Structure 1
Amino acid sequence: MDRENPGRLVIRRADASDWLVVAGVDSVAASGDEARRASIRRWCEQGSVLLAEDASAPVGYSVLEYTFFEQGFVTMVMVAPTARRRGVGARLLKAAEAACTSPKLFTSTNVSNHPMQLLLQRVGWRPVGLLHGLDEGDPELFYLCPGAEG
């Protein structure tokens, strides 16, 4: 896969019938986490999932919601372990930016999640805040999309 169009990547909005496919891409859901599986099903039913597929299979997904002060928020970016470091995450973030209908688009990640921080830096998202108290001992870093007004 190349970073410009990894594996002829196609990104499309998932529908309710795709939830098992999306859950299969998610390493947490695939390990049997029922809460994550329920979230994936709900996200698919709500039309919030952008699904990345290459020629052979689904390789990742992102979730775009508007529950963060009525602004766009990328709740989840997940890339299949076999497709990581190939530009899929960057393409999913770009797709979320293109799909976002609010003036601003945010996301967050734990301080401990270095791969996500590196991805966000690489695609130009800028840090805008730090929140303590969600995960004990692992603060949440918030980022703003570079194309957002602000």
Structure 2
Amino acid sequence: MKFLVKPHLKNLDDLVDIDIEVIGNNSRREYIKKAIEEERCIVVKKENSIVGFLIFVTHFFECSFISLIIVKPTERRKGYATSLIEHFVNISPTKKIFSSTNQSNKRMQEVFKANGFTQSGYIENLDEGDPEIIYFKST
């Protein structure tokens, strides 16, 4: 059984551990901490364990922007990213929601498409040779 909640600072290490498992370092620890403190983070749990999280902002041209979706590698392809996205779409304080992923991240592109997002452009020069594709959904 999965459920979605807002995390507390006591969950910071769990979220950072998942992030480390995905990107290989803890460089986003302060970013994750700030998102928890500002209540811009949602976690998805399987039983009592956090298996993924989503971080968002609401100041992207006065629209919401999902800046990070992370799911434990062992828990992928089980609907957790979709659960996070669907929940955020339902609670979004803005009608327009944007997000992005690298052109090389085919799995995340599939997740966005499966959840009703459409491509809305791209940004060059963030990651050398791997453009960032922008996705959009209206609520």
TM-score normalised by L of structure 2:
0.92
Equivalent of 1:19 in 12, 31, 39: 12
Distance in 1 (CA, whole Å) between partners of 2:91 and 2:104 is 28
**1:13 and 1:47 in contact (8 A); partners too:** yes
- The answer for unaligned runs of 5 or more in structure 1 is 1-7
The offset of 1:32, in angstroms, is 3.2
> Which structure's residues are more often strand, by fraction?
2
The offset of 1:30, in angstroms, is 7.7
1:27-66 superposed matches below 5 A: 27=20, 31-33=24-26, 35-66=27-58
> Which residue of structure 1 lines up, in the alignment, with residue 75 of structure 2?
83
> Which residue of structure 2 lines up, in the alignment, with residue 71 of structure 1?
63
How many residues align? The count is: 139
Residue identity matched to 2:3: V
- The answer for unaligned runs of 5 or more in structure 2 is none
Equivalent of 1:108 in 100, 106, 118: 100
**1:64 and 1:100 in contact (8 A); partners too:** no
1:113-132 superposed matches below 5 A: 113-132=105-124
**2:19 and 2:25 in contact (8 A); partners too:** no
TM-score normalised by L of structure 1:
0.85
Please report the RMSD computed on the Cα atoms of aligned residues, expressed in angstroms: 1.7
The offset of 1:26, in angstroms, is 1.7
Distance in 2 (CA, whole Å) between partners of 1:135 and 1:104 is 25
